[in-house]
């Protein structure tokens, strides 16, 4: 099976040669700093003033949702540079997946002619120097994506045509389509088994949420589910076509272990991500190095997502905000 060389699009950096046990011991210490109790953040009028010590200190002058995202990138950068070459090659697809959001923020900033914002985002990025140069120097988002497509096509022909999607359908559709193609490509590209299982669960979550949104529409919009998940796309299409309540409930119970209505998107999303967290927690108990590292990276991303939800939901009822958090 073809190896997906995600590290080709990431910073090279010197191989530290640190053994995996060294990184695991460092991660155990940093894991203790993750937020355990979200209640003070939900009730605080200034939640980002309560940020714990650690990687958030890197953004002390920009306590905003975007600053939180940059703090996450800085933490990913730290983990990446503690890894030896073997671990970087294994986790390259994860780090590149995380950088898709950096890419999308930069493209929107190019569209709005906010080049200082592009430079700020890239200061924490793990993207390769060549990739960062494309984003910082391109005349506009179209020129940037054209150059990016050429680089991605070296990894897989499935990325062909993404520039045309941007031109014809805009940034939102482009972002969705690029993410979908990326997930499909990497799952079929010889990942480590633990990482592959994680991405398949992520695909299942995205497909389940997409199905729930489509079921709420009287006339389903143009769509396509991400292939390569554990749930067959044909099954999702059958449920959508039949709009069968029992079939939908059965699927959601399989995915979450709970009785959840497809109409409750907020609870459904939180439950799906909580399921991924539980599965990674089991992997994290393993003596193998991959599981604990992946669990930590995921929990850092969930923490950043929760903080963003709290910031954007200022003024809403606390119970509603708490329901959106992945606990």
Cα gap 38→297, rounded to integer Å: 19
What's the average model confidence in pLDDT over 283-293? 79
Cα gap 102→120, rounded to integer Å: 10
List, in sequence order, every beta strand (DSSP E) within the chain: none
pTM comes to: 0.92
Q: Model confidence at 315, in pLDDT bands (50, 70, 90)?
A: confident
Neighbours of 109 (CB within 10 A): 19
What's the average model confidence in pLDDT over 174-187? 94
Q: Poorest-confidence range of 184-193, 236-245, 272-281, 316-325? A: 316-325
| pLDDT of residue 285 exceeding 80 | no
Chain segment 294-308, per-residue pLDDT in tens: 999 999 999 999 998
What's the average model confidence in pLDDT over 254-272? 88
Q: Model confidence at 1, in pLDDT bands (50, 70, 90)?
A: very low
Chain segment 60-86, per-residue pLDDT in tens: 666 777 888 888 999 999 999 999 999
What's the average model confidence in pLDDT over 157-165? 95
> What phi and psi values does residue 127 have, to the nearest 5 degrees?
-60, 150
- Most confident segment among 169-183, 207-221, 255-269: 169-183
H-type alpha helices, 216-258: 233-242, 245-256
| pLDDT of residue 281 exceeding 90 | no
Q: Which residue is associated with the tokens 């949702």? A: 65
pLDDT at 4: 65
What's the average model confidence in pLDDT over 90-111? 95
Averaged pLDDT score across all residues of the chain: 89
pLDDT at 312: 83
Tokens linked to 203: 């695909």
Q: Poorest-confidence range of 105-114, 177-186, 288-297? A: 288-297
pLDDT at 203: 96
| pLDDT of residue 57 exceeding 80 | no
Chain segment 12-44, per-residue pLDDT in tens: 888 877 888 899 999 999 998 899 899 988 988
Q: What percent of the chain has pLDDT over 90?
A: 56
Tokens linked to 135: 């984003």
What's the average model confidence in pLDDT over 194-216? 93
Cα gap 196→202, rounded to integer Å: 10
pLDDT at 155: 85
**At a CB cut-off of 8 Å and minimum separation 6, what does 127 contact?**
9, 10, 11, 99, 102, 103, 135
pLDDT at 101: 93
């Amino acid at each position: 099976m073809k190896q997906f060389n995600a590290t080709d699009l990431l910073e090279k950096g010197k191989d530290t040669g640190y053994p995996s046990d060294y990184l695991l011991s460092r991660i155990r210490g940093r894991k203790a700093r993750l937020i355990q109790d979200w209640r003070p953040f939900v009730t605080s009028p200034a939640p980002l003033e309560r940020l714990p010590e650690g990687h958030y200190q890197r953004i002390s002058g920009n306590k905003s949702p975007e600053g939180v995202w940059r703090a996450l990138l800085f933490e990913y950068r730290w983990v990446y540079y503690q890894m030896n070459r073997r671990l970087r090659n294994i986790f390259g697809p994860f780090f590149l997946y995380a950088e898709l959001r950096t890419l999308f923020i930069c493209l929107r900033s190019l569209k709005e002619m906010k080049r200082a914002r592009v430079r700020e985002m890239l200061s924490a990025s793990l993207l390769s120097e060549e990739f960062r140069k494309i984003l910082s120097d391109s005349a506009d988002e179209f020129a940037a994506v054209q150059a990016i497509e050429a680089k991605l096509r070296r990894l897989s022909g499935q990325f062909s045509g993404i520039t045309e999607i941007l031109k014809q359908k805009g940034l939102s559709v482009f972002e969705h389509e690029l993410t979908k193609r990326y997930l499909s490509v990497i799952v079929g590209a010889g990942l480590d088994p633990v990482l592959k299982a994680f991405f398949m669960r992520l695909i299942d979550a995205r497909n389940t949420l997409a199905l729930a949104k489509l079921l709420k529409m009287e006339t389903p919009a143009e769509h396509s589910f991400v292939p390569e998940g554990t749930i067959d796309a044909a099954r999702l299409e059958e449920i959508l076509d039949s709009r069968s309540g029992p079939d939908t409930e059965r699927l959601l119970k399989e995915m979450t272990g709970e009785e959840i209505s497809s109409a409750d998107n907020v609870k459904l999303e939180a439950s799906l991500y909580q399921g991924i967290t539980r599965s990674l927690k089991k992997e994290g108990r393993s003596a193998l190095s991959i599981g604990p590292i992946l669990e930590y990276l995921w929990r850092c991303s969930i923490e950043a997502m929760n903080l963003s939800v709290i910031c954007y939901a200022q003024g809403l009822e606390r119970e509603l905000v708490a329901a959106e958090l992945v606990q």
